[in-house]
Structure 1
């Protein structure tokens, strides 16, 4: 666990202090010291903005840095600020001595942040962009005095904080630009997919009248020997459908369609002849193998008979 930067105030909200605590118990201990409670006083920790009681350590650790807590003793109750911050008057009896009133209520917002940095400079990592901007906008001489720095060093700190803010803004813009680019690419890809999908207008959909598949139509409309690119099954389908179906689907003139159909018939005939030739060769090979096996069996029989007679 690491120390968590926190803010604590009393129920009047007239005293506010910044501190770091690792647990609820340490927050109570340091809060008593800052707010002037006795070490033996029983106090309750609540969230300053809505009065939620904070008792669980895990819940405490989940709260963001610089959360403002309020410490209450047994007689004090949380109340929202109203009427210019006069909620403290809801207490049964309040006695405020003039020398105990903390002047932090009139302190500029950057002063509390400067006090946090003075105690631990690493708390700057946990500050929000709003807090960093508050420090950047603070008067340099006064900030230097609050931090105990020379004015030049305070100025360098403000310049560094401004660079941090600029870098975060650039990162934010780069992220938004990247998201916009990815969205644009996604839309372009989607449009390309839609335009590349087959439609009835270009004759690449399945035509229920002719029974041609879209792939077959795309091949038939090829420029160079489309019949050689079709499978034997597709060629059989084209030849079976005939001239009328091809004219209807392809939208070509009769001469061009007839030439393509003849090319498909010739290609189909050639392939069937090749298939028949291969089947014939296979049959002859199987027949010769069978004859050779028969001859071997006869020779083996003769040899056995000869051995038996001897």
Structure 2
């Protein structure tokens, strides 16, 4: 006799979902009807929950991977994407929902975050490739629907949206930092031009031209001038720098940074501590992303036997 296969079965509203272990397609129908409260004698159609593919052949059923989720349809029920049915209005669909192709296309157009969510479901690191508009649409997406699209628990989807908002905030900070840096560099350039016109020594390269504090040390140490500008010109500069720049600052140590910046030991030490704390925070964010990714895999594991009914959030 064929060994049992772990599967999941849900009703067409996805409000009820159970884990079952069955050896055949017929047994899936029988157990599914039992758990979902459908009469065993009622004709039902088995479809794949993900895309609505009808499953009628036992051989095809056996070829599907373990933990595949099926939907049982009976009477006038029809398959619909998870995003189409809201938990508060799903009951209205029982009598008359017929999803035409143009209606589905319209829904997709109204929810541009859906395809982005599918990208994240495949690979969370695709976040770094998304535009700010893409990230904003994911942040503004209904949390319960985003959780359904990603296969996450709603709490994990909320944590993801918080992470995306932090990414947006960081990009805005970086943009503002670059704009201020450009203004500062122009001011320095104008000041140097004025000093060059009034100081004879500037023409022979004697090295005694008044330059912005720290720029000569920058040249000597091959330290990036833009990093120095941010460090010396902004409050909480550690939040403005890239991770690579933060690592460069921290790795130089107290004495080297004190010489580069021209600051006293106490002020330089405080800056280094802030940079180290920011690096630690970013590492925690990366670990959080990895945790979300791991949870995505854990959420797909079925329980043995008939599971407890879970209320769908779509």
TM-score (norm 1): 0.31
- Structure number with bigger Rg: 1
Q: Which has the higher contact order (CA 8 A, sep 6+)?
A: 2
TM-score (norm 2): 0.30
